[in-house]
Amino acid sequence: MSDPVVPASLPEALIRVLTDRLGEHFTVNPVVRAHHGGGGTRHPNRPPQAVAFPDTTAAVAEVVQACAAHGVAIVPYGAGTSLEGHVAAMSGGVTIDLSRMNRVLRVGVDDFDCTVEAGVTRSALNAHLRDTGLFFPVDPGADATLGGMAATRASGTTTVRYGGMRENVMALTVVTAAGEVIRTARRARKSSAGYDLTHLFVGSEGTLGVITEVTLRLHPVPETMAAAVCAFPSAEAAVRTVIEALQSGLVPARAEYLDPVQMGAVNRAFGLDYAVADSLFLEFHGGPDEVGVQARMFGELAEANGGSGFQWAVEPEARDRLWKARHQAGFAALSLRPGAIPWSTDVCVPISRLAQCVMETRADLDGAPFPGTMLGHVGDGNFHCILLLNPDDPAEMAAAAGFDARLVRRALAMDGTCTGEHGIGLGKQAALVHEMGDAVGLMRAIKHALDPEGLLNPGKIFVAG
């Protein structure tokens, strides 16, 4: 096997060590490196100098130890679906791609839990669970890896009923910056033993350690699932219907909002004929009688708020067709402006302020010099804007930055957060300071304590300095 080309800033000794350890699963191929640079969004593609593909926790630890010995940066990588530049190699170094760690290690049917390697995707896990009567509910839309979902504290369409990764991760196996392997908790459903290390690493975006195994809560597959789409005369009416449903004790499994621009996009992209209006996509889980009662009650609330055109789906194929419009919304939005790059941003506010935040944001977006859509998880106050931009037009990019800053200020003024699920990464570092103030200093101290050399995913979360 011939020696790989040595990048200028990567030590030859490190190249030899990692090539000896991983063979063909370590590469400096420029095409592979470019694939791992986080391109495809508004953030620039920043490739690493090399990519390692370990297949065990022990192998990950060896890669980390070797990089640490040479002072080389390390960037953990799952499926690369994050939107705020999380996997861009800002200091070069070695990206650790965990896709070969794709084994389901254990399923505890009686305990409603499982342990998987970090590279297992959510769809692969649910396929593995198909005959157990259990499923894993967290659905961020993209078929992300479970390690990446833990690292970014992902949530998504089912959060209103089942919670996100914060609620469903029970324990982690993590390789620290020093190359030590730790387990953050055991499988007991609760514990008062020491610091909650599990939730320190959940949402740490690869800056505190490399997650290699995840123990997850599982849930029984509902006996009945019913999905629906309904049009409303305004965003306020749609959001008010969801709030009234929650106040009435109804907890839909999914409650998703799409604005008229987004609905028009999905119609054109997928040959559908939904009303081009503020719309809700809903799903109810439970026994047949329970789902029937929930659907009837929600229908009455929707009708009272001007909702119309209900389309119901119970069979799996019909539900999948209905949800395609929501899950593929990002791709549909791109069809509005071929050749554009998406600037996808999100905020989350208390649900009582959601309608106001959505309406003010829609008015702001209507005045922008670029097209954009809005969609969100209205059951938990989280919504997204997809801005479609010409990356070669500096004025347009500046206008998008201004829109994003106003959106964040609007959410924070309502006691919300600058990001409900996209994370900080590169894109919302200044917003984190505005939101958390002096608490960011404590975060920096934790980062320094666990990674004193700053080798783990450098340049993320914190404003430089």
Percentage of residues in the chain with pLDDT exceeding 90?
82
What pLDDT score was predicted for residue 3? Answer: 40
Average pLDDT over residues 454-461: 96
What pLDDT score was predicted for residue 384? Answer: 95
For the segment 102-133, what is each residue's pLDDT rounded down to a tens digit? Answer: 999 999 999 999 999 999 999 999 999 999 99
Lowest mean pLDDT, pick from 20-34, 193-207, 321-335: 321-335
Look-up: residue for tokens 């799903």? 283
For the segment 357-400, what is each residue's pLDDT rounded down to a tens digit? Answer: 999 999 999 999 999 999 989 889 999 999 999 989 999 999 99
pLDDT value at 189 more than 70: yes
Whether residue 151 contacts residue 175, with contact meaning beta carbons closer than 8 Å, is answered with no
Which residues does 40 contact at the CB level (< 8 Å), separation at least 6?
A: 341
State the first-to-last Cα distance of the chain, in angstroms, to the nearest integer.
43
pLDDT value at 6 more than 60: no
Identify the three-state secondary structure at position 72.
Answer: coil
Band of pLDDT at residue 65, cut at 50, 70 and 90: very high
Average pLDDT over residues 195-199: 97
Band of pLDDT at residue 309, cut at 50, 70 and 90: confident
Mean pLDDT of the chain: 93
* Structure letter (DSSP) for residue 426: T
What pLDDT score was predicted for residue 87? Answer: 96
Nearest of 353, 342, 354, 272 to residue 313 by alpha carbon: 272
pLDDT value at 413 more than 90: yes
What pLDDT score was predicted for residue 8? Answer: 63
- How is 197-239 classified by DSSP, letter by letter? HHHHHTT-TTSS-EEEEEEEE-EEPPSEEEEEEEEESSHHHHH
pLDDT value at 4 more than 70: no
Average pLDDT over residues 425-451: 97
Buried b (16+ CB within 10 A) or exposed e, 134-154: bbbbbbbbbebbbbbbbbbbb
pLDDT value at 1 more than 80: no
What pLDDT score was predicted for residue 465? Answer: 67
Band of pLDDT at residue 2, cut at 50, 70 and 90: very low
Band of pLDDT at residue 311, cut at 50, 70 and 90: confident
Tokens of 411: 């959410």
